[in-house]
Amino acid sequence: MENITIGGRLEAKNLTKTYHLDSGDREVLRGLNLTLEPDTLTALMGPTGCGKSVLINLLAGYEPLTNGEICLDGQPIHGPDKDRLVVFQETALFPWLTTYENVAYGPKIRGELKGADLTNSVMELLRHVGLDSFRDKYPAQLSGGMQRRAELARAMINQPKVTLLDEPFRGLDAMTRDLMRDHYLTLFEKRRGTHLFVTAEIDEGLLLADQLVIVTNRPARVKKILPVNLPRPRSEEIRSTPEYLTLKAEALELSHEEAMKSFKAGSLSSADFVGAYAALN
C-alpha cells in the first residue's frame, strides 16, 4: 500500500444552511466560503454552537445544502463518499466489531483489498497508530485515546482525498490530548492528504494547521483566515517562537470578538471565555 495519500481540493462556495423548525427558521450558515488546498491542514475555530458540526455534515454530504455549492477537485459532490471521510466527535467505531475489523471495514466492503493485502494494510496502519497488539479487542475494551487512534486508522486506510475531523480529541484528558495531537501531526506529515480539523483550542489549531480559519457566531461565515507559515515537521517547541506568539495573539483577539457576540446572544459557554479573557487583559 502506498503511504502517501493524494489530497483533493475542496471548495465550499457561498454555503448557506437554514433549518426550518417549529420555533421558526434558524439560519446556521450564511454565505460561507472556504477552500481547502490539496495536502494542507486547515484548522477551523468558532464560538460554541456556531455550526461547525453542521459545516462538517454538509461537507461530508450527510445533509442537503439550502444554498451554495461544494466541489471536490472541481466536481460538485453528491452525498457521502469515501473521498470525504469524517472522524467523529464521539467515537463512531462499530462496537460490535474488533479493532481490526473496524479498520478493515471500508476496503473490505468496497472489495478493494482482499486476503493478505487487506491484512497487511490493516496491520501496517495499526502498527502506525500503536494498536497492533489490540487488533482483536472490541472498542469497549480500548481506552478513549486508543479509540480515537483506531478511528483515525479506520479513516486513513481508505486514503480519502479529504479528511474531516470534528473535534476528534474532545473529551480526552489534557495529557492524552497532547499525545494524540502529536500522534496525529506525525501521521499527517507522513501520509498527507487534505485535512479539515475543527477545534475549540487555539493552540491545537496553530500547532497543526497550515491555515487557521476563524468563523463568526451564528449564522456562521468565515471571519478571517490566518496563514500559519511555521516550518514542518513541527513540535511543541514552536510554541515559544515569536511568530507563533504573534499568531496566537491575533487568533485570540479574533476569537474573543466572536465569543463576545455569542455571549451577548445568550450563550453560556462563551461567558467562560469572555470572563477569562477579561481577567487576562
Residues that bind other proteins (CB under 8 A): 60-62, 79-82, 84-86, 88, 90, 92, 94-97, 105-106, 109-110, 138-141, 154, 158
Q: Name 65's Cβ contacts closer than 8 Å, sequence gap at least 6.
A: 15, 16, 17, 58
C-alpha cell at 12: 465550499
Beta carbon of residue 80, minimum distance to other proteins (angstroms, whole number): 4
Q: What are the residue ranges of helices labelled H in the chain?
A: 52-60, 99-109, 115-128, 144-156, 174-191, 202-208, 242-264, 268-280
**What is the C-alpha to C-alpha distance for residues 281 and 72, in angstroms, rounded to an integer?**
43
Beta carbon of residue 37, minimum distance to other proteins (angstroms, whole number): 22
Beta carbon of residue 58, minimum distance to other proteins (angstroms, whole number): 13
Following DSSP, what letter does each residue of 70-119 receive, concatenated?
A: EEETTEEP-S-BTTEEEE-SS----TTS-HHHHHHHHHHHTT---HHHHH
Choice between 86 and 228, CB closer to other proteins: 86
Nearest Cα neighbor of 41 from 231, 254, 208 is 208
Choice between 160 and 205, CB closer to other proteins: 160
Give the Cβ contact number of residue 266 at 10 Å.
8
Pair 150, 177: CB distance under 8 Å: no
Choice between 112 and 203, CB closer to other proteins: 112
Choice between 88 and 277, CB closer to other proteins: 88
Choice between 106 and 193, CB closer to other proteins: 106
Beta carbon of residue 53, minimum distance to other proteins (angstroms, whole number): 11
**What is the C-alpha to C-alpha distance for residues 61 and 84, in angstroms, rounded to an integer?**
9
Beta carbon of residue 156, minimum distance to other proteins (angstroms, whole number): 12
Beta carbon of residue 155, minimum distance to other proteins (angstroms, whole number): 9
Choice between 8 and 139, CB closer to other proteins: 139
